Amino acid sequence: MTRPLIHFSSARNWLNDPNGLIFHDGRYHLYFQYNPHGVDHGFMSWGHASSADLVTWQEHPVALRYTDEHEIFSGSVVFDERDTSGLGIGGTAPLVAVFTLAARSGAHQSQGIASSADGGLSWSMHSGNPVLDRGSADFRDPKVFRYSGPAGDYWVMVAVEAVQRKVVLYRSDDLRHWELLSEYGPRGTAFGVWECPDLFPLALDGDPDDVRWVLIVSMNPGGVAGGSGTMYVVGSFDGVRFVPAAPAPEVEPGAKTPDDALAALDWIDHGRDCYAGVTFSGLGDEDRILIAWMSNWEYAGEMPTDAIEPQRGSMTLARRLSLVTERGRIRLRQEPIGPAVVPVAAIADVEVRPGEPLTFEAPPASRIRLRLRLDDGASAELRLGDAPALAAVLRVRDGELTLDRRVGAEGLPEAFGSLERLELRADGLDAVLWLDEGSIEVFADDGTAVLTDRIPARRSDRVELHAVGGRVRIDEVTVEAEEEDRA
């Protein structure tokens, strides 16, 4: 696969889940699951990159390295401004990383901490690790935040008992001693294991007097598009327990594919390649930003790599989250944070008829704004690349967008070829597409309907818009790209 141009990927080796996302001293820090030794999942450590704008990233040396006893699985980082942990040095309040210690011999997972006095570049393991041990084989992925409310002022850890599909919440005054608050689940799905939870408040429709809490849980398998995926639940949190606002549809155990009940859950993304997303600490609640791993466990380990600079894995674009009422339902809205772009092409007030496609160019990394209206019974097809070597085809018909990447999946893992579906609010399309080398992210209906897929590399910049079974009216097609990528 071709290396991405506008999405973060490590210079070499294996990369998966984002960890320890934090904004501190003017920089965004992205830690991530990383194998220092090769392109396969193993020897899990924390890689590290930082950015001033969430677009251009500088990779740093490995932050937390595996040991003979433990691999370092997913977790989070907080700024312990009051030095509640006592891990500060010389009056400097520390950054504290909280992560899963996964035993390399035997099945055992517990939580450990490390501290940094230089802004997250170097870390000291806490001598008292582990700081929390349930005697479990599958207790992992701690996300820690500072709670301040009617119940008090303290740290909260949200983690999972993965196989039991259960979220467990703990509290601490010092990040070193933890006591159980409550448990949540299993609820809403009978598939796979639960991983990488997050819990945070958002104002509904921008009203600061109407704050709801959002619980994110990734699952593998059991995603709405197949393989791994991430759901969210809106509810309330009183400092002790999370309570969902409405009952969730249950999914019958043993089902082979997602059914209507699974589709009725709320999903961060309806594509195949958005997993383990979590949000940054160190930002205000009104600036809630998420990044996810852009792959799927069904085929991540089988994806081809570059022979000269072997590497597997990349991240989605960063996404700013908000909570809105959409068609009588509370939904997450996601606003992508991409590079600054300049116009390449603009088309408006054009009618496309069957057999008379509209052709335009989209550079390797580009943003496409689409507003289309369709005749009754018509469909629109956006074909990426030159036939017969298409990378993917997007189709819009009857209030649904599908993304077909089977057309270009030859030579890729068998599970890669797939057809994804995204429900739209109308029969036409109002969306922003971010294209990169080997991926597409679709943000439709003002970001309330999102689909992310890796796609085969495009062999040309050609894009064709076809009308099938009736006319397609173009209100707007705008192509933008970074200055150096202009045609």
Residue-level pLDDT at 309: 85
Average pLDDT, stretch 65-75? 98
Answer whether residue 2 shows pLDDT above 90. Answer: no
Average pLDDT, stretch 210-232? 95
pLDDT tens readout for residues 373-427: 999 999 999 999 988 889 999 999 999 999 999 998 988 999 999 999 999 998 8
354 phi and psi angles, rounded to 5 deg: -55, 135
Mean pLDDT computed over every residue of the chain: 94
Range in 119-128, 314-323, 404-413 with the lowest mean pLDDT = 404-413
Beta bridge mates, 218: 195, 230
Residue-level pLDDT at 251: 61
For the 342-485 domain, the top CATH level (class) is mainly beta
pLDDT tens readout for residues 242-291: 999 987 766 665 554 445 667 788 999 999 999 999 999 999 988 999 99
Do residues 274 and 191 make contact, with C-beta atoms less than 8 angstroms apart? no
| Domain covering 13-337 in this structure, CATH number | 2.115.10.20
**Residue 146: CB partners within 8 Å, gap ≥ 6?**
78, 153, 154, 155, 156
Residue-level pLDDT at 247: 79
More confident residue, 427 or 438: 438
The C-alpha atoms of residue 422 and residue 444 are separated, in whole angstroms, by 9
Average pLDDT, stretch 96-124? 97
DSSP string, 55-73: SS-EEEEEEE---SSEEEE
Average pLDDT, stretch 55-82? 98
How many CA within 13 A on the CB side of residue 91? 0
DSSP string, 6-50: SS---SSEEEEEEEEEEEETTEEEEEEEEETT-SSS-S-EEEEEE
Residue-level pLDDT at 250: 64
Residue-level pLDDT at 487: 45
Split at pLDDT 50, 70, 90, the class of 328 is confident
Residue-level pLDDT at 253: 57
Residue 376 CB burial class (10 angstroms; 0-12, 13-18, ≥19): exposed
Residue-level pLDDT at 390: 93
Residue-level pLDDT at 343: 94
Active site residues: 17
Average pLDDT, stretch 67-79? 98
Residue-level pLDDT at 327: 83
Any idea where the domains of the chain sit in the sequence?
Answer: 13-337, 342-485
Percent of the chain clearing pLDDT 90 (strictly above): 87
Instruction: Give, as one character, the DSSP assignment of residue 210.
Output: S
More confident residue, 341 or 308: 341
Residue-level pLDDT at 364: 94
